[in-house]
Amino acid sequence: MDRRRDWRHWLIGAAVVLAAAAAVAVPAIADSDWYTLSYKSLSEAPKPLPIGQVPDDLRVDWSAHGVVPGTGITTTPSTVVTADEDQITGRDPVSGAERWHYRRGNTTLCSWTMEQNTAIAVFRNGDSCSDITGFNADTGRRRWYLNADLPRGVRLIPGNGIYYALDSTDVTGFYLEGGSKAWSYHKKGCTPSNAVAGDVGLVILAECNGRVDLIGVDGYTGKERFDVPAPGGNPRLLSADTDIVLASDTGQETDLTLLSADGRVVGLVADPHRAGSTRQPLVPPTVADGRWYGYDGTRVMAVDLKRPQLLWTASATGSPLLTDDSVLVPTKEGLRRYHLDGTPEGRIPVSVPPLVDGLEQVGTHLVVRAEDSVTGLG
């Protein structure tokens, strides 16, 4: 028996098997997260920027590409979070430099949002948006991962200790701590089109059997609180803090209807000088001292929720930012500063995008969000 010949045959056979395995393994690895994943995080959170008044001599410090989130605030006192088609990134608010990132090169970002210093991103896996990951917004460190079978077109909405996923048939609530599923709400014959969360709970605008309904859901249990016909024509749901604020068209006017947490109409604010669609804001309107500061598509509006009545308006190209004692309003000529009572206080001649989706403050710096860009002003 020639053992050397048997040994050579074994080596040749092993080489053939290994080569075949490599031919299969290389494409598999190339399509895997192991091959396409790029992940960088920080060991410690950056220090918050000192809070102060926004100066009158702002300039553009940096700009980056960025897709807008489902809705909500996208900054912390020390970090600006941006996102691209396959990546979510934490940036220095002063320089715009990248501090951390999480990239999935083999998939697509379906939606993202932020809630209580947690950045939440859902990525597509196959035909569904199934991979949800929560990150510390300042360090990028993963807090949790969840596999959930959500359809394409899902939109994430922040709540208070809970976040929501809205699609064309269902609304699903997830716990912020741990990220796990809390509940799912579905109503036969209804197609949700929009939803906002606030201190009155989660409010859904949906087409139900030929009419448009306003549905209130308990944000923590998913139980329905009310279902009422949405008033007016072409209703647009704007906010759910203190009161539910809904814009609708009535004849040649646009009205704001105020509803309580149980769906009862508690006030109507007629606006004879505005007709047409009201844009759904990226950053929800601000409610302070019983006053609502929002954006109707062409103007910033201040509304007294207690009376109720329209207090003042100002031409604008996006949602306002409420500071300690003033309101910053984006315009075609830059930013204008108004007193809380609507008195003009001056202009900040800085370049901003033609249409602003969100305006946020970090320290004394501003972050301006547009459809596909994020700009830092300082």
Query: In Å, how far from its chain's centre is CA 278?
Result: 18
| Residue 23 sits in the same domain as residue 142 | no
282: pLDDT strictly greater than 80: no
**What would the pLDDT profile of 203-238 be if each residue is shown by its tens digit?**
999 999 999 999 999 999 999 999 999 988 888 899
For range 35-43, the mean pLDDT: 89
Whether residue 230 is contained in a domain is answered as yes
CB 122 within 8 A of CB 132: yes
Say yes or no to pLDDT of 360 above 80: yes
370 and 253 together in one domain:
yes
Read off the pLDDT band of 16 (50, 70, 90). Answer: very low
Sequence-distant (≥ 6) Cβ neighbours of residue 16 within 8 angstroms: none
pLDDT, tens digit (0-9, with 9 covering 90-100), for 259-272: 999 999 999 887 76
Q: List, for residues 68-88, the tens digit of each pLDDT value.
A: 777 788 999 999 999 999 999
Give yes or no for a contact between 203 and 263, defined as CB atoms under 8 angstroms apart: no
Residue with tokens 């249990």: 221
* Residue 8 scores a pLDDT above 60: no
Using 50, 70 and 90 to split pLDDT, how confident is the model at 329? very high
Check whether 7 has a pLDDT greater than 60: no
Give the pLDDT score at 253: 64
Segment among 28-37, 75-84, 299-308 with least mean pLDDT: 28-37
- Distance between CA atoms of 211 and 180, rounded to whole angstroms? 33
The position carrying tokens 């460190």 is 141
Please indicate, yes or no, whether residues 131 and 97 belong to a single structural domain of this protein. Answer: yes
Give the model's pLDDT for residue 252. 59
In a domain, 289, yes or no: no
Q: What CA–CA distance (Å, rounded) separates 170 from 370?
A: 28
Q: How far apart (Å, rounded) are the C-alpha atoms in residues 114 and 74? A: 6
Q: Return the top range by mean pLDDT from 44-53, 144-153, 249-258, 296-305.
A: 44-53
Q: Is residue 152 part of a domain?
A: yes
Residue 26 shares a structural domain with residue 48 = no
Looking at the fold, whether 16 and 62 belong to one and the same domain comes out as no
Task: Tell the residue number behind the tokens 């929560």, with chain if given.
Answer: 134
Cα angle 289, 338, 71 (rounded to 5 degrees) comes to: 65
pLDDT band at 199 (very low <50, low <70, confident <90, very high): very high
Q: Could you give the CA distance from residue 256 to residue 269 in angstroms, rounded to a whole number?
A: 5
For residue 9, is pLDDT > 60?
Answer: no
pLDDT at 274 over 80: no
In a domain, 35, yes or no: no
Please check whether residues 104 and 231 belong to one and the same domain.
yes
Looking at the fold, whether 238 and 188 belong to one and the same domain comes out as yes
Which whole number is the average pLDDT over 345-362?
93
Is residue 329 a part of any domain in this protein? Answer: no
Same domain, residue pair 16 and 81: no
**pTM of the predicted model as reported, rounded to 2 decimal places:** 0.86
252: which strand partners? none
Does residue 141 share a domain with residue 4?
Answer: no
Share of the chain above pLDDT 90, in %: 66
Q: What's the domain count of the chain?
A: 2
Domain of 220? Answer: 41-284+349-377
In-domain check, residue 225: yes
363: CATH? 2.40.128.630
Q: 14 with 104, same domain?
A: no
Predicted confidence at residue 316, as pLDDT, reads 93
Tell me if 293 is assigned to some domain.
Answer: no
Residues 23 and 157 in one domain: no
Whether 344 is in a domain gets the answer no
pLDDT at 231: 87
Residue 11: the pLDDT is: 45
The answer on 254 and 113 residing in a single domain is: yes
- Please give the single-letter amino acid code of residue 273: H
- Give the pLDDT score at 14: 46
